[in-house]
């Protein structure tokens, strides 16, 4: 995917000669194409009546299938457009049906015309020290805006709507194309450490964040991400969990992966395993909780709309989801289904001790063994007896 860096974009915008009317038009064209991430045909078709520069400034774009979307504009772009429209007397009502960008014959610019304008300034930018590919097309400005939004940490759902994509999967291409985002996702998912100082290496997977079927950004843990890291090595693994939960279907997939894993799976809850994350925790051959960690279980929930038939379908679906969750809890705890159902109804929060007591966890990480506790108690008794003897001798 071809896109410009921030520095390349800035260099490109410096090339039009703003002392001439044509240069000012070209600057307005390039700036708007980038700022709106519009498709080249959307820019060519843009008319004055689809431009509003009053706060909040937006343009209305007509995309594929004549679907419309309103795109907000940044202040610098608004100022450039305002000057361009004033210079060309485009702000008057009688001009409302006029193309925003036109040639010397007052005809709207064509796609090839826009391409020619862009290539002219790319060539000029390279003459002034740039290294921009001469093969880029006007669509490259759309890609560049999307990539810069991803790099700025903007949610992919917003970017999807901004670009007018039908599916989030199309928008995810931008996140996947950024190597820094991929690196962060990999670092987040798995770290390999040597805990015994010898040749034995324990694989550690860290499940930290919201569980989702699809990754809108690199903060989410998806079954695909988890599977890739789980199967990237072999041997026993430890899974650290700190998650508020998320998609119960995605959690069920991860639970099943860990249940079928051939090596020993140790789950360590070092902060919280709530909601769907508690289901994943049940896959461990050994489940350990840190002293200050928490676990929470509750009924599954969803959002539904429609008539009473649709509402009933949602109710029936949630009932089945609850039953499948109880399956995982019961295999670990040996509690009755009725007891587990009541705990979920009550949205039960469990400390480490409570989770061990109910069977959701096997032990508390770092807790002294029973033998050590007895020795400490015996030592305290002996110390107490010595004190009593000293007091009696005084």
Question: Annotated active-site positions, please?
Answer: 39, 64, 139, 142, 165, 174
- Residue 51 pairs in a beta bridge with 59
Q: Please give the full DSSP string across 201-269, using - where no structure is assigned.
A: -EEEEEEESEE-SS-SSTTEE-HHHHHHHHTTS-S-EEEEEEE--B-HHHHHHHHHHHHH-SS-EEEEE
How far is residue 70 from each of residues 96, 140, 311, 318, measured CA to CA in Å? 17, 21, 33, 37
Q: Contact 330/343 with Cβ under 8 angstroms?
A: no
**DSSP designation for 93:** G
Cα 2 from chain centroid (whole Å):
23
How far is residue 64 from each of residues 5, 231, 272, 285, measured CA to CA in Å? 27, 41, 45, 52
3-state helix, strand, coil in the chain (%, to 5): 50, 15, 30
Q: Please give the full DSSP string across 276-295, using - where no structure is assigned.
A: HHHHHHTT-SEEEE-TT-EE
């Amino acid at each position: 995917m071809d896109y410009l860096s921030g520095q390349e974009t800035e260099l490109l915008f410096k090339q039009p000669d703003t002392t001439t009317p044509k240069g000012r038009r070209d600057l307005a064209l390039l700036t708007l194409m980038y700022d709106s991430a519009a498709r080249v045909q959307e820019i060519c078709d843009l008319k004055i009546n689809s431009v509003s520069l009053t706060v909040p400034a937006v343009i209305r774009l007509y995309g594929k299938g004549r679907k419309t979307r309103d795109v907000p504009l940044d202040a610098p772009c608004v100022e450039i457009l305002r000057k361009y429209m004033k210079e060309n007397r485009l702000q008057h009502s009688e001009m409302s049906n006029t193309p925003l960008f036109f040639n010397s014959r007052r005809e709207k610019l064509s796609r090839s015309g826009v391409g020619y304008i862009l290539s002219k300034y790319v060539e000029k930018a390279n003459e002034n020290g740039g290294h921009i590919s001469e093969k880029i097309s006007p669509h490259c400005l759309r890609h560049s805006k999307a990539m810069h939004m991803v790099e700025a940490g903007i949610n992919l759902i917003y970017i999807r709507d901004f670009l007018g994509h039908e599916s989030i999967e199309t928008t995810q291409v931008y996140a996947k194309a950024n190597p820094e985002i991929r690196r962060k996702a990999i670092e987040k998912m798995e770290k390999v450490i040597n805990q015994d100082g010898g040749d034995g290496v324990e694989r550690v997977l860290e499940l930290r964040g919201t569980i989702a079927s699809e990754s809108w950004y690199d903060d989410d843990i998806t079954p695909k991400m988890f599977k890739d890291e789980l199967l990237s090595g072999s041997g026993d693994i430890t899974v650290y969990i700190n998650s508020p939960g998320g998609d119960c279907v995605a959690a069920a997939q991860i639970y099943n992966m860990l249940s079928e894993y051939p090596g020993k799976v140790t789950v360590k809850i070092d902060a919280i395993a709530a909601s769907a994350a508690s289901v994943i925790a049940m896959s461990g051959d050994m489940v350990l909780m840190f002293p200050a960690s928490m676990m929470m279980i509750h009924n599954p929930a969803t959002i539904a709309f429609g008539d009473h038939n649709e509402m009933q379908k949602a109710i029936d679906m949630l009932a089945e989801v609850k039953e499948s969750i109880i399956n995982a809890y019961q295999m670990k705890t040996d509690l009755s289904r009725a007891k587990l159902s009541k705990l979920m109804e009550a949205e039960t929060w469990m400390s480490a001790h409570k989770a061990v007591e109910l069977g959701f966890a096997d032990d508390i990480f770092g807790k002294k063994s029973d033998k050590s506790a007895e020795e400490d108690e015996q030592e305290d008794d002996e110390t107490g007896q010595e004190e009593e003897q000293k007091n009696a001798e005084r």
